[in-house]
Amino acid sequence: MTHAEHEVADLCVELIRADTSNYGDGSGPGEREAAEIVMARLAEVGVEAHYSESADRRANVVTRIEGTDPSLPALLVHGHLDVVPANAADWTVDPFAGEVRDGYIWGRGAVDMKDMDAMMLAVLRQMVTEGRRPRRDLVFAWVADEEAGGEYGAKYLTKAHPELFEGVTEAISEVGGYSLEVDPGLRLYLIETAQKGLAWMRLIADGRAGHGSMLNSDNAVTELAKAVARIGSHEWPLTYTPTVRTFLTEIADAFGLPFDESDPSNLLDKIGPLVRFVGATLQHTTNPTQLSSGYKANVIPGRAEAVIDGRFLPGHEEEFFKTVDSLLGDKVRRESIHHDIALETTFDGALVEAMIAALKAEDPTARAVPYCMSGGTDNKTFFADLDVRGFGFVPLRLPKDMDFAAMFHGVDERVPVEALRFGVRVLDRLLLNY
Ligand SMILES: [Zn+2]
């Protein structure tokens, strides 16, 4: 067993034990404890790193390993150190004990994403200890606050310390690279190449306030309710982005099934619980999530408001908002509460080839498939701020029956130790050879 394979589980356990719960309101412990572990483990092998806190205890660590060929652009490998909170009462184990049981490491962050944080650390330590150098510069970043939008992490770093990412054109990070076993001779590895965009919108209707007993043809509540119902029940058409089309074509081919564009449910059935990641990537969605208006049964309020959680497909943002506006009607307007870009990159080029080659070298049955995520990761920030082309690639060879999607933010989150060892083998190959 290599050095990285040997220590990756211990590093993951150590990081899980540092509670970095992110409540999104600044009340949590922050990432400092985990960042100090990363700093110490880097220092042990003589690697200096840039440590910065964007606010008290909101810690980020970035380091660069110089490649042998300065003409090549740099690759960013990033992982977030924060985790979503865990309610210990729901769990079989203490979510912050980092228990190893039945070949799995249990704990909050085991797959999201202290697994990758540990894999990055193990591979880097091994590379440095053995005196091997990558071809291109590698920038490793362990960042704060991904779970609350990255203000204290990726967004802070790209604004305050852009020089750390000098020359970076591509990135790899979370929610991709895991396996879906079709049969013993074929494992698909889902590499994330696209992410839906996000549009949280406030709808506002202004009408004529008045007494509840009188005639009122300009009732804000009525107008708002009609718009909310139109938007919430709108049937968005199936729309295939290049990534989703390729994904479904690959699934069809792997399982020997037809791909009927008018109804691909036969293919979605085949990917089992992973449908949680991709089920909503075949169309836009607009879910009403909040409603507010009025203060008394017999008073017609002058204003009514609602919130819509909208998610749009990459390449179709304009058409999404055009349709939303047509559904609003004349009496309701919208404001943006929060907006985030959609992402899509092509599944080609030297980095994709290198990921495929590294997977195949460690798992001859591997076949890499691009997919689109319905949520988002820090890749959006690095793309928006630094024009970095990002992929979801945390290589994990998973047991066939594992409900991997349920692990993310889930109760009893856990990761197989063997999957981590597989992951460091793949990452080591990728990072050294690319
Ligand atoms: Zn994550």
Q: How far is the CA of 408 from the centre of ligand 1 (A)?
A: 8
Q: How far is the CA of 233 from the centre of ligand 1 (A)?
A: 30
Closest CA to 78 of 404, 428, 387, 379: 379
Q: How far is the CA of 119 from the centre of ligand 1 (A)?
A: 15
Tokens of 310: 């909208």
pLDDT-based confidence at residue 279 (cuts at 50, 70, 90): confident
Residue ranges near ligand 1 (ion) with Cβ within 5 Å: 112-113, 174
Helix runs in 136-207, H state only: 154-160
Q: What is the pLDDT at residue 277?
A: 85
Q: Are 393 and 80 in contact (CB under 8 A)?
A: no
Q: How far is the CA of 152 from the centre of ligand 1 (A)?
A: 15
Q: Are 279 and 374 in contact (CB under 8 A)?
A: yes
- Cα 10 to chain centroid, rounded: 24
Give the separation between CA 377 and CA 379, rounded to whole angstroms.
Answer: 5
Q: What is the pLDDT at residue 384?
A: 87
pLDDT-based confidence at residue 278 (cuts at 50, 70, 90): confident
What is the percent of the chain where pLDDT is above 70?
Answer: 100
pLDDT in tens, 234-270: 999 999 999 999 999 999 999 999 999 999 999 999 8
Q: How far is the CA of 225 from the centre of ligand 1 (A)?
A: 35
Give the mean pLDDT of 185-203.
96
Q: How far is the CA of 79 from the centre of ligand 1 (A)?
A: 8
415 Cβ contact list (under 8 Å, min separation 6): 12, 104, 105, 110, 111, 115, 396, 407
- What does DSSP assign to residue 374? S
Q: How far is the CA of 378 from the centre of ligand 1 (A)?
A: 8
Give the mean pLDDT of 305-312.
97
Give the separation between CA 191 and CA 298, rounded to whole angstroms.
Answer: 56
In 3-state terms, what secondary structure has residue 182? strand
pLDDT in tens, 354-394: 999 999 999 999 999 999 999 999 999 999 899 999 999 99
Q: How far is the CA of 174 from the centre of ligand 1 (A)?
A: 6
- Cα 44 to chain centroid, rounded: 30
Q: How far is the CA of 226 from the centre of ligand 1 (A)?
A: 37
Give the mean pLDDT of 310-339.
97
Q: How far is the CA of 146 from the centre of ligand 1 (A)?
A: 7
Helix runs in 256-311, H state only: 265-270, 275-278
Q: How far is the CA of 23 from the centre of ligand 1 (A)?
A: 14
Q: How far is the CA of 111 from the centre of ligand 1 (A)?
A: 8
pLDDT-based confidence at residue 273 (cuts at 50, 70, 90): confident
Q: How far is the CA of 434 from the centre of ligand 1 (A)?
A: 25
Q: Cis bond leading into 113, ω under 30°?
A: yes
Q: How far is the CA of 236 from the centre of ligand 1 (A)?
A: 28
Q: Are 400 and 182 in contact (CB under 8 A)?
A: no
pLDDT-based confidence at residue 73 (cuts at 50, 70, 90): very high
Whole-prediction pTM = 0.93
Q: Is 106 left (phi over 0), alpha (psi -120 to 50) or beta?
A: beta
In 3-state terms, what secondary structure has residue 180? strand
Give the mean pLDDT of 151-166.
97
Using CA atoms, how far residue 358 sits from 117, 268, 315, 353, 423, in Å, is 19, 27, 30, 9, 10
Q: What is the pLDDT at residue 276?
A: 85
Q: Tokens 């770093």 correspond to what residue?
A: 157
Tokens of 341: 């870009």
Closest CA to 145 of 57, 16, 42, 62: 57
Q: How far is the CA of 257 from the centre of ligand 1 (A)?
A: 32
10 Å Cβ neighbour count for 344? 19
Q: How far is the CA of 266 from the centre of ligand 1 (A)?
A: 29
Q: How far is the CA of 415 from the centre of ligand 1 (A)?
A: 14
Q: Are 359 and 426 in contact (CB under 8 A)?
A: yes
Give the separation between CA 37 and CA 58, rounded to whole angstroms.
Answer: 14
Give the separation between CA 201 and CA 14, rounded to whole angstroms.
Answer: 40
Taken in order 348, 406, 245, 146, the sign of the CA dihedral is negative
